[in-house]
Amino acid sequence: MAKKLTTEEILKMSRANKADQSDTAPAEPAAGAAAPAEDSAPAKEPAKPAAAPKGAADIMAAIRAKGAGGAEASSGKPEAKPAAAAAPKSPADIMAAIRGKGAGAAPAAAKPAAKKATAEASAGNLPPVGEMLAQLKAGKKPAAVEAPAKPTLKLPTRPAPKVAPQPTRRAFLLDVLLSPFALAWTVLAATTGAWVLMLARFMFPNMIVEPPTSFKIGPPSDFPLGTVSTKYTAANGIWIVHTNQYKGKDLIYVLASVCTHLGCTPSWLEGEQKFKCPCHGSGFYINGMNFEGPAPRPLERVGVALSSDGTLEVDKSVKFQEEKGQWEDAKSFVDGSIA
């Protein structure tokens, strides 16, 4: 490999090539001269014009011929031949020849060069507008008509199309299933399906199912005077209070374990005999009255009644607020003397 064409050189060449397309006539002898430089091709007027190149196009052609020939003698030669043979006939042929040479030089040069060259070669099937215009100006027929088949198309460097064997039914099915198109759709469908399933799962969160609002808590004797039962706090959010500290009456009632400030769950402190909220420090007496911290209202009572079997039944669906006078409601307590 004597000389590799860099990408820049190739670009320069193709640019120069385009600029000189209007001036195709001088390229005629040049192409003819360039080819014989390699071997004695049947050109009509070989030596003289080559000695004194007339314009940039000539130089380009020469360079290209050299590049093709010098870079890879074995592949350059056979290509140069048909190009040179076709050369004298028309400018289109010359163009094709140049292109063919370019293509021949390319594989020897570098990958980008190869790309460029093949791109050019395939584009050569329909000459660019500029080229056609130039030919019209020169008073000739458009190249596309005259040169339907390019030498490039017959180049041995292009792989021959594979002859697909007659597919069996199974192989055909496999082909379809493994085609990128089918794969993409399958993946999309699978993802969407999983997503929909997840969405469905989301509708059933992992949570404790809301306990019934009405339930039995046992006989009154379970709750002796002066006690607060926290037995149902964790599950149902209530305290069962038996006290005589609300207006001096002996009552059993049920308080909702929700702080009236911002809804945290206070804790019952046995030693201090008070409910104390861990969030902002509100405190409530055993009877539910607020006395410290920011809570503006007493704790709320829920409904309680003695059911027919002698046990207490709590109804959480009703609330009784002290500040509204609702603690007088008979449904909000039971008489403590039955305990």
Return residues touching ligand FES (CB under 6 A): 259, 261-264, 277, 279-282, 293-295
Out of 297, 313, 315, 339, which residue is the one contacting another protein (CB under 8 A)? 297
Q: In angstroms, what CA-CA distances link 218 with 232, 286, 312?
A: 11, 21, 6
203 contact, one of ligand FES, another protein, none, CB 5-8 Å limit per kind: none
Question: Segment 202-231, which members bind another protein (CB under 8 A)?
Answer: 208
Q: Is 329 in the site for another protein (CB under 8 A)?
A: no
Neighbours of 174 (CB within 10 A): 12
Spatial CA neighbour of 125 closest among 94, 149, 100, 160: 149
Q: Enter the tokens of residue 105.
A: 């030089």
What is the 8-class DSSP label of residue 4? P
Which helix or strand (DSSP H or E) is residue 267 part of?
strand 267-269
Separation of alpha carbons 181 and 213, rounded Å: 56
Number of residues in contact with another protein under rule CB under 8 A: 33
Single out the residue of 110, 231, 294, 318 in contact with another protein (rule: CB under 8 A). 294
CB of 212 vs ligand FES, minimal distance in Å: 26
- Phi and psi at 319, nearest 5°, equal -125, 145
Quick one: which segment of 138-146, 148-156, 288-296, 331-339 binds another protein (CB under 8 A)? 288-296
83/228 with CB nearer another protein: 228
Please state whether beta strands 290-292 and 214-218 pair in parallel, antiparallel, or not at all (unpaired). unpaired
**Is the CB of 96 or the CB of 277 nearer to ligand FES?**
277
Tell the residue number behind the tokens 């596309």, with chain if given. 144
Task: Give the C-alpha separation, 298 to 283, whole Å.
Answer: 10
Please say which residue, 64 or 261, places its beta carbon nearer to another protein.
261
Residue with tokens 């001088």, as numbered in its chain: 26
Closest separation in Å from C-beta 22 to another protein:
43
Does residue 267 interact with another protein by CB under 8 A?
Answer: yes
Which residues of this protein are in contact with another protein, per CB under 8 A? 208, 233-237, 257, 260-262, 264-267, 269, 271-272, 276-281, 283, 291-294, 296-297, 323-325
